[in-house]
Structure 1
């Protein structure tokens, strides 16, 4: 049995579990068609001959003062990471092709001001030099390499001894001891583990760039996301020039934190006030629009919610959304019909979050249902009004988190009226120039805004 297991095993791309025979459905995570064949290496080389690490008493580590983060030189990146680059951490950066992953990585390398090694198996050294010249970055402390064999990369790390290592990309790096092609499950898993061991033992930071699949997840085994400390996604829409760096996992900072950038010919530039960006071209005094103070991580952002209700031209009405969950919209339409008597059965309903932003904040319910009702009634929501609150199936408006931060951002941008849940009125602060109304139900909110 031991001999056969050394020849091949099967790995689940979703959960990373191992099996000695192939299954159509993974017994662990119940996902279908996720098992791939994996050939373990016949012989293993010790990574750089590193000795076994000794145990340490925790109290001797907690009082150390030299575990300082290194600033990336980009405030928005530092915000997403939780304060900067932490020595010994491994960061996975994913995104669609051409979104700007390599650009932001080389800008981080230049901004941190530390010795760095940029390993690019997708671009030559000359191409990297052209990119650096176009971005106008300082390359004094930057070493570049076109190597893509993992053990050779680790040897270069031993020679250069960088504070920051960038791998572009993990799908092109391979271990020659493995009997599989670069980008396969076994290669990504093994190379990721080698890099993780090296950065933990030597105390340098690793940024690993990863390709994404057609559904938007990072290509390769899910175990890669489990083993790293931070997972970042660079998001954007080809129709817009802005990019959003989002943290979906962070052991050392807030999860779902975002940084907003503007794509220019000189690289990615920070957007210090995203609310102004998303509201720059908002349509005032028009039916079907509402302003939502949402939370992305710890940052409040004001966005415009647009809705359009029209008679259906075909038998089945359309329910189209952009930036919000379509199932959430279906629930809100049911509440609008059952609790408020606004029948939508024979109407097409379109909801759009302006600017290409995608949110999962349940506090958006009140602004969405109000925008839909505004379009249906052809009544305008007064300019300078923000709406926030989670809507339940009985039409009640439930409390939301971080209401003070949301209202503070609204007041700073000159909004005059805020419709919030009644439950948040107990501890809410007052803001100069902002009149706050607490409502228990959607019906009460409609009585104020219409």
Structure 2
């Protein structure tokens, strides 16, 4: 009940983020129900239905990431003065944040169930025909108990991930540096030695995993390409070499692992040499925020490279157009990872509130802060953009020849 009351009195931007989580949960729930409906209507193709269900893990993971990002920026999940005396300590706030995440996901899942049954024609009205019959299993018995079990996956996963991400004690271990980690003048420190060395070590490991994934994909894709066995996405899932998907997975994990190191590298390049005030401020802030924004940016780069490679592969096979479920899944994943990256940027902006206030008290003009922010964005774009494009081209190349 307390989570519901906090949700009712939340800021409109907080409510908007929770609505985004509910919408993402609805889209993922619809994909899960589609896989279940296909399995119920085509019992002879159990393997096809199982692979369809496995593909739903991608939008489910993207939805979970978005839910965690939204919970981290929720003011109700942060401790405030006097809340511990009222019985709302860090542990209780974590429970409330997990409950709020579960409520948003449950609402989205219920909306997905209603939309799915309506499209199938199970709620009355016009009976589904054509592609709805083939993809959703309209006209065949639908296991409601199995549907409810599948719909519970996203709320439970998102709630558990939120509890782990916000568990008490993370700030003490330095994972989320606060105002105490800043200098007396409020100027952000670049990073602690431990954080800097950890990110520097993770960068080559991430690049090594990405290279290993590309090499694995190249090895298993040798020989002439068959248009009927190119990249399988929902709608045409059978006929893909498992090594291709394993290679893409390794490449994606490598990009996510290397994300903080790439962000820190961008900050170091900005502050290299004899920088001016704008370049020095942009580089130091970017290094300070590299751990917070690096992972979401790595996920965004991984999804962008996979989307680009998939689009190139589908261009080489015009007989295999994108299906409606493929489009829904791709749009859902892209929207989730983009919203997560923007939310991480918002969290980073909130974390440097004291630094910005201190700089303003020292007489720093707002135009300088705006130029520094634009320079940080440009540095990340120049470092991550070409890298993402190169990885996407290398990932698609073995499948096109």
Common fold: TM-score over 0.5: no
Q: TM-score, normalised by structure 2?
A: 0.24
Which protein has the bigger helix share?
Answer: 2
Say which one has the larger Rg: 1
Q: TM-score, normalised by structure 1?
A: 0.22
> Taking CA–CA contacts closer than 8 Å with sequence separation of 6 or more, which of the two structures ends up with the larger relative contact order?
2
Which protein has the bigger strand share?
Answer: 1
